[in-house]
Structure formats: structure tokens, C-alpha cells
């Protein structure tokens, strides 16, 4: 009996030591990853895997850093299917060991999304479709994320142009458009791809079944010669159609005056980067023929001087042709209430408690932020009954413990009804 107890203690103590060593190796690898030293981080994680082959975090970080080594390191390793399979194998192993590993599911979607972009570059429509389909089948797009993507698209008028912040929004939206054929009329552009000439060229000419072409006056040669452009702050004037002047009650001689600032500087000289130059060309060339939107996932730096032109419109911003500051058009209350105060549009919200992806789930906070701004609007209009109904809707349909800050926002909305 004594020998058995001693053996158990030895195994127990050895396990503690082993786990401690693995934890230290993971910490070291994560710090190296933050510095962009992905190769060294992967070497350390391989050592951690040998010491503890059943740690899901080791496989997650191996997939994480191998993914970034493939796409965002210097020098770039570059995409190939064998390397991509290796990335996916790591994440699938992490999920095998920890079935609720939400961020591992997210990166499976990111890896398949990268495959889809490579297929788009090659105009391989079937491979592009297959990548998005496999991403969905691998549960990288849970119900709450698909619903959120649909609500972004519902916030756009027909034939709209939608700029999104990153792959967390872009991939499920493209899945909806390409696989489910949902709102294919909207052209969706992630800002992270604006500095890739091949992608801008695809936007210019379109790809049947994948991308609806954009209004761009740039030639193919100009696109593939994109570079930082010498630039001082400049105001661009764009004519406004008679239809929009009437809609927004604008003077007949009104022009859109868009002040565009440089966003690069070196050796005391200022420049406009390629992505901002492309955005400027789209807005000018479009000439208000198609409605333009920014998703709420966009970093404010993407707005490129359009900040005061943004109308809160569902869960995105619409860009009307005039400065909205201090006008009644700053918020489209009808559109917001139609989309967000509809139980059918948030019926999968609570799925996030089951299929939480901590890396991206926080985008759902946008529901609360938009509804708080809607409540503020109702307060300004002295429509207290609407605030009360809004509060009741939120308490019934948007309750979760995933976002502690949501409780504070709900409380602030409730207080608006009582002030």
C-alpha cells in the first residue's frame, strides 16, 4: 500500500513539474510571437508539445503562429496547400483536446478564408466556394456570427458598397453571399486588402460569382504601380446629385467637401498611403450612384476624414454627401429599430454563450452601443415610451454574461427612461 501511495505521489509531483515547464514555455513563446518572432516561438512550442502532448493551448498557439508566419511575417513564407493543412491540423487537434475552444474555431475560419482569397486571386471559383463551405462545416461560423453578418448586410441599401474592418466580419459575410446567395448585390471590401494590387484589380473588373465590380477610374497599370503618394492636406469637392439634394434638403449649389489628410510621414515629408488613395478614388468615381457604408468593425482611422459624414444606420455607418454634425440625420432611427428591435434578427444572439469566440465575440457589443444611441435619440425626442419598449426588448433578447460591460449599458438605457 505504501509503495502504491509513493508511486502516486511521484507521478502527481512529476505532473505538476511538467505542467509548470509547459506553462513557462508557452509564456515564452507568446512573448516572442508578440514581437513577430514566429519561427522561434514555434520552436519553443514544439518543445512544449513533446513535454505535454495533451495540452490544447500548445496546439492552438502552434496553429496561431504558423498561420501568421504564413501570411504576416518577414520574409513571407507564402501560401501552399501543404502548409495550410499543417495550420489546420494544429487547430483541429486543439479542438479534439478541448471541444469548446472558441478561438481555435475562429482561426480555422481565418485559415480557410486565406485559402478562399488565394482561390479568388487565381479566379478559381469552385475552390473559393469550397473553402467557405468547409469553414462553415468546421463550425467556424456559429449561428450568432452568421446572424450578425446578415444584420450588417440588412443595414445596407440595395447595390451598396460596404467597407469592413477585418476577416471576422468579411469571412462570414462572403460565406453568406457566395454559398447562401444572400445579398450578393453588396460589394464587400476589407480594408486589410486595399494595399494588395491584385485585390484592387479584382474589385475594378469584378469576378463573376465572387465579386461585384466597383466604380474605379484607375487603370490596371496604375493599380499595380500603387505606392505612397506625396500629399498635403487637401479638400476634394464632389458634386451631389439632385436626388440627394432633395432627400437631404440641401442647397442647389451644395458640393461635398471632403478634407483628406496624409497618413504617412517620413523624413519630414507627408504621404497618402495606397489604401486611402484607393478609397478616395472609389468615392469620387462612384459619384453617389451607390450607397457607401462602413461596418462598425472598422477602425476609425479607416474613415479617412469622413468621420463627420457618418450616419449611424443599423449596425453600420452610411456616408451621405454632407457633414452631418448637429443635423437630424446623424442617426437613422427607423432603420436601426427595424433591424435591431426585431426578434427574428437576434434570435441566435444567445448562441454566443455556447459557441463563444473570445477573440471576436466582442463585436456583439455593437448591438448594445447602437441601441444605447437609439435610446439617447428617443430621449432627445422625449419619446420615453420607446425607451421603455427598447429596454424591455433588450432584457428579453440580449441578455448574456459573456460581456460584463453590457450590464452597464443596459443600466444606462434604463436610467434614460427614468430621468
User: What are the structural domain ranges in the chain?
Assistant: 16-137, 143-325, 334-418
Quote the CA–CA distance of 14 and 16 in Å, as a whole number.
5
Pairing of strands 316-318, 255-260: unpaired
The residue behind cell 421603455 is 388
What pLDDT score was predicted for residue 74?
A: 59
Quote the CA–CA distance of 291 and 319 in Å, as a whole number.
7
Quote the CA–CA distance of 50 and 82 in Å, as a whole number.
22
What pLDDT score was predicted for residue 14?
A: 45
Assign residue 128 a region (left: φ > 0; alpha: ψ between -120 and 50; beta: otherwise).
alpha
What pLDDT score was predicted for residue 418?
A: 84
What pLDDT score was predicted for residue 303?
A: 93
- Whether the CB-CB separation of 172 and 150 falls below 8 Å is answered with no
Burial 377-396 (b: 16+ CB within 10 A, else e): bbbeeeeeebbbebbebbee
What would the pLDDT profile of 20-50 be if each residue is shown by its tens digit? 567 889 999 989 888 888 989 999 999 999 9
What does CATH list as the number for 16-137? 1.25.40.10
Burial of 172 (0-12, 13-18, 19+ CB in 10 A): buried
Quote the CA–CA distance of 201 and 217 in Å, as a whole number.
11
What pLDDT score was predicted for residue 205?
A: 95
Pairing of strands 316-318, 311-313: antiparallel
What pLDDT score was predicted for residue 53?
A: 94
What pLDDT score was predicted for residue 73?
A: 62
Task: Find the largest Cα–Cα distance for the chain.
Answer: 96
C-alpha cell at 135: 469553414
Quote the CA–CA distance of 174 and 181 in Å, as a whole number.
9
Neighbours of 140 (CB within 10 A): 25
What pLDDT score was predicted for residue 347?
A: 97
The phi, psi pair for 317, rounded to 5°, reads -110, 135
Quote the CA–CA distance of 166 and 401 in Å, as a whole number.
25
Quote the CA–CA distance of 152 and 67 in Å, as a whole number.
27
What pLDDT score was predicted for residue 79?
A: 66
Considering just the CA atoms, what is the radius of gyration of the chain in Å?
A: 25
Give the pTM: 0.91
What pLDDT score was predicted for residue 13?
A: 47
Q: Residue 230's beta-bridge partner residues?
A: 271
H/E element holding 280?
helix 274-286
- Whether the CB-CB separation of 312 and 155 falls below 8 Å is answered with no
Which positions of the chain have pLDDT values less than 70? 1-21, 72-79
Amino acid at each position: 500500500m505504501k509503495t502504491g501511495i509513493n508511486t502516486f505521489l511521484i507521478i502527481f509531483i512529476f505532473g505538476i513539474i511538467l505542467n509548470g515547464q509547459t506553462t513557462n514555455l508557452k509564456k515564452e513563446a507568446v512573448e516572442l510571437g508578440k514581437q513577430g518572432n514566429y519561427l522561434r516561438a514555434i520552436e519553443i512550442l514544439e518543445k512544449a508539445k513533446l513535454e505535454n502532448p495533451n495540452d490544447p493551448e500548445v496546439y492552438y498557439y502552434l496553429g496561431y503562429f504558423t498561420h501568421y508566419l504564413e501570411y504576416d511575417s518577414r520574409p513571407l513564407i507564402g501560401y501552399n496547400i501543404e502548409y495550410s493543412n499543417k495550420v489546420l491540423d494544429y487547430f483541429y487537434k486543439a479542438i479534439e483536446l478541448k471541444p469548446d475552444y472558441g478561438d481555435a474555431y475562429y482561426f480555422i475560419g481565418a485559415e480557410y478564408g486565406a485559402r478562399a482569397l488565394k482561390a479568388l486571386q487565381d479566379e478559381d471559383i469552385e475552390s473559393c466556394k469550397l473553402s467557405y463551405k468547409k469553414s462553415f462545416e468546421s463550425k467556424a461560423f456559429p449561428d450568432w456570427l452568421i446572424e450578425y453578418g446578415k444584420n450588417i448586410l440588412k443595414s445596407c441599401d440595395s447595390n451598396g458598397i460596404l467597407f469592413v474592418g477585418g476577416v471576422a466580419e468579411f469571412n462570414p459575410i462572403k460565406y453568406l453571399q457566395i454559398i447562401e446567395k444572400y445579398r450578393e448585390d453588396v460589394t464587400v471590401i476589407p480594408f486589410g486588402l486595399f494595399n494588395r494590387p491584385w485585390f484592387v484589380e479584382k474589385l475594378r473588373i469584378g469576378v463573376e460569382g465572387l465579386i461585384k465590380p466597383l466604380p474605379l477610374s484607375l487603370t490596371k497599370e496604375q493599380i499595380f504601380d500603387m505606392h505612397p503618394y506625396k500629399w498635403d492636406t487637401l479638400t476634394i469637392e464632389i458634386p451631389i446629385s439632385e436626388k440627394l439634394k432633395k432627400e437631404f434638403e440641401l442647397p442647389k449649389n451644395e458640393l461635398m467637401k471632403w478634407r483628406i489628410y496624409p497618413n504617412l510621414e517620413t523624413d519630414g515629408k507627408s504621404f497618402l498611403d495606397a489604401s486611402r488613395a484607393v478609397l478616395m478614388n472609389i468615392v469620387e468615381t462612384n459619384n453617389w450612384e451607390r450607397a457607401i457604408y462602413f461596418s462598425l468593425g472598422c477602425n476609425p482611422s479607416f474613415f479617412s476624414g469622413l468621420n463627420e459624414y457618418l450616419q449611424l444606420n443599423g449596425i453600420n455607418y452610411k456616408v451621405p454627401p454632407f457633414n452631418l454634425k448637429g443635423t437630424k440625420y446623424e442617426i437613422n432611427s427607423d432603420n436601426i429599430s427595424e433591424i435591431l428591435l426585431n426578434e427574428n434578427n437576434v434570435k441566435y444572439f444567445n448562441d454566443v454563450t455556447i459557441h463563444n469566440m473570445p477573440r471576436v465575440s466582442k463585436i456583439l457589443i455593437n448591438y448594445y452601443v447602437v441601441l444605447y444611441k437609439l435610446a439617447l435619440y428617443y430621449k432627445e425626442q422625449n419619446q420615453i415610451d420607446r425607451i421603455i419598449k427598447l429596454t424591455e426588448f433588450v432584457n428579453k433578447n440580449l441578455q448574456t454574461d459573456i460581456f460584463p460591460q453590457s450590464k452597464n449599458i443596459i443600466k444606462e438605457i434604463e436610467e434614460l427612461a427614468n430621468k
